Amino acid sequence: MRKNLISVFALLMGTLFLFLGNGLHGLLLPMRGALEGYETTMLGLLGTSWATGFVLGCLLAPTVVKRIGHVRAFSGFASLIAIIALLTGMLVDPFWWIVLRAVTGFSIAGTSMIIESWLKIYVTHDQIEAMTMADRIVVMRDGLVEQQGAPLELYDTPANTFVAGFIGSPAMNMVPGTVRAGGAVEFEGGVRLPLPADARADEGQRVLFGIRPEHCAPSNEGLPADVVVVEPTGADTQLYCRFGGQDFTAVVRDRTDVAPGERVMLRPDLKRSHLFDASTGRRLAA
């Protein structure tokens, strides 16, 4: 995290100095032109050409970025700004000054748009949108950060029940139980399952056993669940069941002949299951 912050800070500071230098260059260039004896109209065109290049950059730079990529485009725009500053110091022809100032405006627009896209923060309540669009996700509740990280990091290792319920669709099943001796969790009706592979808890502790619907599979052993609704979607089949007095969802990748009203045994993948403290909601990991 610290390395990322240092990289972002270095990028922003470098760009800031580049922009300040370009602004100072834009102020000094007309002064030099006046000393060279250029007409007032020609000096006014320096500012007009920069503005024209900036507008064109706002319109065309996204196409350039899309074709060659953000990093290459940023390097190219920043290099153009620096090179043009050197060229205007070597050339004294007002025509080339005007052309180069237009290119500078174009490059400034492109650079600004790229930085904005890199630093942009999207706020959404749609977890599918967050998972598919974001490089990093920050999950917040009541103004406080619950967890932050890469999308799949939050999906695989949610810090608490709030994050676990927010990330993933259908939502993670949370089955209340009690930790028993021998590394097992006992549910209502005396049904027991081993602890998840990376979970640790004290005997007698009240917990929530977290199981994602896609990590359950019909089997000869596991949790006895009563099927309420069967929804075939083609690619998979969603089973809406009842277990322990609460709703329980399973997603079966293959087609199944299970019908509503039947009882099925659902076996969780213990390597992908989670254990949470029932009182705090925090994930219990080794």
**233-282 pLDDT, tens digit each:** 888 899 999 998 889 999 988 788 889 999 999 999 999 999 999 999 99
The CA R_g of the chain, rounded to the nearest whole Å, is: 30
Residues 176 and 164 in one domain: no
Q: What is the pLDDT at residue 32?
A: 63
Q: pLDDT (tens digit, 9 = 90+) per residue, 2-61?
A: 555 666 666 667 667 666 666 666 666 666 666 666 666 766 776 678 788 888 888 888
Q: What is the pTM of this model?
A: 0.61
Between 8 and 104, the higher pLDDT residue: 104
| Res 108 pLDDT > 80 | yes
Residues 176 and 269 in one domain: yes
| Res 200 pLDDT > 60 | yes
Angle among Cα 96, 98, 101 to the nearest 5 degrees reads 105
Residues 113 and 130 in one domain: no
Decide if 229 contacts 237 (C-beta within 8 A).
no
Number of domains present in the structure of the chain: 3
State the average pLDDT for the chain.
83
CATH number for the domain spanning 268: value is 2.40.50.140
| Res 1 pLDDT > 60 | no
Give the residue from 138, 169, 200 where a domain finishes: 169
Domain of residue 108: give its range: 2-119
Between 121 and 158, the higher pLDDT residue: 158
Decide if 235 contacts 203 (C-beta within 8 A).
no
Q: What is the pLDDT at residue 230?
A: 93
User: How far is 161 from 280, CA to CA, in rounded Å?
Assistant: 9
**What tokens does 208 get?**
């929530």
Residues 13 and 78 in one domain: yes
Between 242 and 122, the higher pLDDT residue: 242
Residues 165 and 175 in one domain: no
Decide if 107 contacts 77 (C-beta within 8 A).
yes
Residues 175 and 256 in one domain: yes
User: How far is 132 from 121, CA to CA, in rounded Å?
Assistant: 14
Decide if 230 contacts 239 (C-beta within 8 A).
yes
Q: What is the pLDDT at residue 3?
A: 55
| Reported confidence tier of residue 72, pLDDT bands at 50, 70, 90 | confident
| Reported confidence tier of residue 89, pLDDT bands at 50, 70, 90 | low
The region of weakest confidence among 78-87, 118-127, 146-155 is 118-127
User: How far is 251 from 118, CA to CA, in rounded Å?
Assistant: 36
Residues 33 and 113 in one domain: yes
Residues 219 and 145 in one domain: no
Residues 112 and 29 in one domain: yes
| Res 119 pLDDT > 70 | no
Residues 217 and 253 in one domain: yes
Give the residue from 119, 134, 150 where a domain finishes: 119
Residues 13 and 112 in one domain: yes
Residue 58, helix vs strand vs coil: helix
User: How far is 127 from 132, CA to CA, in rounded Å?
Assistant: 9
| Res 131 pLDDT > 60 | yes
Give the residue from 59, 89, 119 where a domain finishes: 119
Residues 109 and 68 in one domain: yes
